[in-house]
């Protein structure tokens, strides 16, 4: 059995759209796109490592340094090895106003994560795992998270093109999740229940296409 590690944020965790600050409801296990993906890939072990608030490479001065994806990635690679593929879907939280980074910086940060994975030797037989780099869909500044992500919507419109360029530079396959799903109008960040099935299908198709047996 092969293994895919889903390295992401609250949208990999399965967090539901947030009507008020402090809410953190999660889709029931069978509804989450990660669980649906596992059913579409019966010959794979699907490990969901989604952490709400996770950034690419930034310590969060408000929510805590443990949200830094770069910091935790080596431990996750070691604890779950051997890993055949790492699916990275990060960058949304980098759009928070507090980080003051643009779409190009986010893409460069994702490239750094790819380099960590390739240097890890966490694949079967000590080789590097494969990587599928995913651009999250554009956000909308609406609801209780609008102030937190002020200015992020415009930046997010450029994110897919920048992440696609980063994938080309790194020589890894790319998927634009914004062509598959859209964020919820409730909070402009998370995905509604209607997104789970098509996202799982798109990821399953991409994994089977780019990482055949």
User: Percent of the chain, pLDDT > 90?
Assistant: 98
Neighbours of 28 (CB within 10 A): 11
pTM above 0.75, yes or no: yes
Residue 10 within any structural domain of the chain: no
Residue 6 within any structural domain of the chain: no
φ and ψ at 67, to 5 degrees? Answer: -80, -5
Residue 152 within any structural domain of the chain: yes
Neighbours of 125 (CB within 10 A): 6
Task: CATH number of the domain at 65, please.
Answer: 3.40.50.1110
Instruction: Give dist(CA 167, CA 172) in Å, integer.
Output: 5
Contacts of 149 (CB under 8 A, 6+ apart): 95, 96, 97, 139, 141, 188, 189
pLDDT of 38: 98
Q: Is residue 35 classed as helix, strand or coil in its secondary structure?
A: helix
Greatest pairwise CA separation for the chain in angstroms:
48
Residue 87 within any structural domain of the chain: yes
User: Percent of the chain, pLDDT > 70?
Assistant: 100
Average pLDDT score over the chain: 97
Contact criterion met (CB below 8 Å) for 57 and 70:
yes
Residue 16 within any structural domain of the chain: no
Q: Residue 171: pLDDT band by 50, 70, 90 thresholds?
A: very high
Q: What is the dihedral of CA 37, 93, 26, 177, to 10 degrees?
A: -30
Confidence check: pLDDT of 22 > 90: no
Residue 5 within any structural domain of the chain: no
Confidence check: pLDDT of 199 > 90: yes
Host domain of residue 114: 24-210
pLDDT of 81: 97
Confidence check: pLDDT of 45 > 90: yes
Q: How many CA atoms lie within 13 A of 25 on its CB side?
A: 11
pLDDT digits (tens, 9 = 90+) for 83-114: 999 999 999 999 999 999 999 999 999 999 99
Instruction: Give dist(CA 106, CA 95) in Å, integer.
Output: 8
Residue 15 within any structural domain of the chain: no
Residue 95 within any structural domain of the chain: yes
Number of domains into which the chain is organized: 1
- Residues 135, 35, 56, 206: is their CA dihedral positive or negative? negative
φ and ψ at 185, to 5 degrees? Answer: -70, -5
pLDDT of 84: 98
């Amino acid at each position: 059995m092969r293994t895919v590690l889903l390295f992401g944020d609250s949208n990999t965790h399965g967090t539901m759209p947030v009507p008020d600050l402090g809410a953190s409801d999660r889709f029931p296990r069978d509804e989450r796109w990660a669980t649906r993906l596992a059913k579409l890939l019966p010959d794979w072990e699907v490990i969901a490592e989604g952490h709400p608030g996770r950034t690419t490479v930034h310590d969060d001065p408000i929510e805590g340094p443990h949200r830094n994806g770069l910091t935790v990635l080596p431990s996750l690679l070691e604890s779950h090895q051997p890993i055949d593929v790492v699916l990275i879907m990060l960058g949304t939280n980098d759009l928070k106003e507090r980080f003051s980074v643009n779409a190009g910086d986010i893409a460069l940060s994702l490239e750094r994560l790819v380099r960590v994975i390739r240097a890890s030797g966490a694949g079967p037989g000590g080789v590097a795992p494969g990587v599928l780099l995913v651009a999250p869909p554009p956000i909308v500044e609406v609801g209780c998270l609008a102030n937190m992500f002020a200015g992020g919507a415009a930046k997010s419109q450029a994110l897919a093109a920048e992440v696609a360029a980063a994938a080309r530079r790194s020589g890894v396959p790319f998927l634009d999740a914004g062509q598959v799903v859209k964020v919820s109008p409730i909070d402009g960040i998370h995905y509604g229940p209607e997104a789970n099935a098509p996202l799982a299908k798109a990821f399953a198709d991409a994994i089977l296409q780019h990482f055949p047996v």
